[in-house]
Structure 1
Amino acid sequence: MRCLYCYNPDIVLGKGKIDFETVLNFLKTRKGLLDGVVLSGGECTLHHKIIDFIKEIKTMGFAVKIDTNGSNPKILNSLVRNRLIDYVALDYKSLPHTFKKLTQSGLFSEFEVSLNLLIQSNIPFEVRTTFHSSLISEDDFVKMIEYLETQNFEGNYYVQHFVNNVPTLSELDNSNKEIRLKNFSTPKIKIIFRE
C-alpha cells in the first residue's frame, strides 16, 4: 500500500533497511530485559522470510506483536495457526469506496479476510484507524463502525488522529480534530481515541 498519510515514507520507498541478522544479534543482548518485539513496516508480512524470522524471535523467548494492514491473509493465517504471534494490530484504512484512493491499492477484500480470520481466532488483536478529516468523512467513519458490527467485531476500536505537520507520502492539508469531541461507541464497540 501507499497510504497518503503514511508516516514512514522512507521505509515505503525502500530506504532505511536493517537486516535480520543485526536484529537477532541485538535481541540476543536483550534477553531478560525486553518482553517482546513489534514487527511493523510498511507491511511486515510481505517479507519472504518473515515466518522463519518470527520463529527465531520466539525461540529466544520474546512475545511477538505484528502491525499489519491485513493485505496478506495467507501469511497471517499461518502465523495464527502456528501460534507464532501473541498480538495483532490490524489497520482498518477505510471503506471499500474510499480504500483505493487512500491506500493506492485494491486490497480491501484481503483486509476483510484478515479481519474475519482474527475475529474467529483466539489471538488477542485490536482494530485501529488513522483518521484524517480530508480522507474519511464523519459519515464514512460511522459507516466504518457499522461495517465492523456486520463482521461481528466486538471490543475496542482505536482511532489515532493524523498528526499534522509531519513528513508523509503525500502532501496533505491539516486534519480537523473535532471528531474526538463526539461519542461514536455502540453497545458492542467502544471507540477509543488515542493521542
Structure 2
Amino acid sequence: MTPFTLLDYPGHPSCILWFAGCNMRCVYCYNPEIVLGKGQYTYTAALEFLESRQGLLQGVVMSGGECLLHPGVPDFAGRIKDMGFLVKADTNGSRPVILDKMLRKGLVDYVALDFKALPEREVAVTGRRYFKAFEHCLDLLMAGPVPFEVRTTVHGDLLKYDDLFAMSAFLKDKGYGGVYYLQKFRSGVPTLGDMESDGTDIPEKLAETSRVPVQIRT
C-alpha cells in the first residue's frame, strides 16, 4: 500500500493498493516482490484504511501485479465506490471479461492500459501471449465513456524505434485518439528478469524524463 500519491491518478490525490500476483513475467518489472508475493493486507484491512482516509483522499488506484486477476476485485471496487472514492485500475489488458463487468457496472472511473508489445515481440517482453485480450480491452474502453490512457514501458533491448512506431500505428489504425504514454524502464532496482543493460538505447526524450506523452492523431 502506498498511502498517498499525486502522480498516479491524474488530478486526484490518491492512495495505491498494490495487488499481489501477475499472469505476465515482464523482464523489466521492478515489482518482483509484488508479482511473486502473496500480499500483506486483506480486503477488510484495506477498507479499514480507506475509511480513515475519507475526506482526505479522492481516489484509489488499484495496481499490481495485475489487480483484475483477483476474483473479489469487482465487489471490492464497489465497496470503495460506496465510500465515495474514485477508482482507477492499472491493468495489463489480459482480463477483458472482468474489465467489461467493471465498466458495465460503473465500478471504475479511469483505466491505465498497458500496451506491452505487438504479437511478434510480446513473448520477449512478457513471457506470455495475451495480445488478443489486450486488443479486446482496448476495444471495450474505446466503446465506453470511461476515460483511459494507453502506456508502454520502453527498454532498448526489448523495443526499438521501429517497434514503437509500429505500436503507434496500430493505435492510430484502431482509431485511438488519446495520449499514448511512453515510460522509461526503471534502472538501478531489482527486476523480475535478468536485464543485461540499463536500457539506454531508448528515444532521446525518454532519456531525459520517465514519462513522455505521444499524441495519436486520427
TM-score (norm 2): 0.82
Say whether 1:5 aligns with 2:28.
yes
Number of aligned pairs?
Answer: 189
Match of 1:67 among 80, 90, 103: 90
Query: Match for residue 132 of structure 2?
Result: 109
Equivalent residue letter for 2:127: Q
Using the aligned pairs only, state the percent identity. 47
Amino acid aligned to 2:190: P
Contact 1:93 1:129 (C-alpha < 8 Å) held by counterparts: yes
Distance 1:157 1:122 in 2: 18
Please state whether the residue corresponding to 1:48 is helix, strand or coil.
Answer: coil
What's 1:78 paired with?
Answer: 101
CA-to-aligned-CA distance 1:160-183 (integer Å, 9 cap, x gap): 100211111011111116503499
- SS state at 1:129 partner: strand
Q: Which residue of 2 aligns with 1:192?
A: none
Aligned counterpart, 2:119? 96
CA RMSD, 1 decimal: 1.8
- 1:16 is displaced (CA, Å) by 3.6
1:73-101 Cα deviation digits (max 9, x unpaired): 00000111111110000000011101012
CA distance in 1, matches of 2:142, 2:204: 26
1:179 is aligned to 2:182: no
5 Å-filtered alignment, 1:8-27, equals: 8-27=31-50
Residue in 2 that maps onto 1:51: 74
CA contact (8 A) 1:132 1:176 kept: yes
Aligned AA (2:75): D
Q: Do the aligned partners of residues 187 and 153 (structure 1) sit closer, same or farther apart at CA in structure 2, a change above 3 Å counting? A: closer
* TM-score normalised by the chain length of structure 1: 0.92
Indicate conservation of the 8 Å contact 2:112/2:149, yes or no: yes
Q: Structure 1 residue 151: deviation in Å? A: 1.0
State whether residues 142 and 184 of structure 1, in contact with CA within 8 Å, keep that contact through their aligned partners in structure 2.
no
Distance (Å, rounded) in 2 between the aligned partners of 1:167 and 1:17: 20
After TM superposition, what 4+ stretches of structure 1 lie above 4 angstroms from structure 2? 182-187
Displacement of 1:187 in angstroms is 6.2
Say if 1:69 and 1:92, in contact at 8 Å, map to a contact too.
yes
Mapped to 2, the partners of 1:9 and 1:15 lie a distance apart of 11
Q: Which runs of 5+ in 2 are unaligned?
A: 1-23, 207-211
Letter in 2 for 1:175: G
Equivalent of 2:59 in 18, 30, 36? 36
Please list the CA deviations of residues 24-77 of structure 1 after superposition, one character each: whole Å capped at 9, or x if unmatched: 000011110010100001100000100110010000000000000010000000
Cα 1:144–1:133 change in 2 (3 A) is same
* Whole-angstrom CA distance in 2 between matches of 1:127 and 1:184: 10
Cα pair distance change 1:185/1:65, threshold 3 Å: closer
Match of 2:217 among 173, 188, 191: 188
Higher relative contact order (CA 8 A, sep 6+): 1
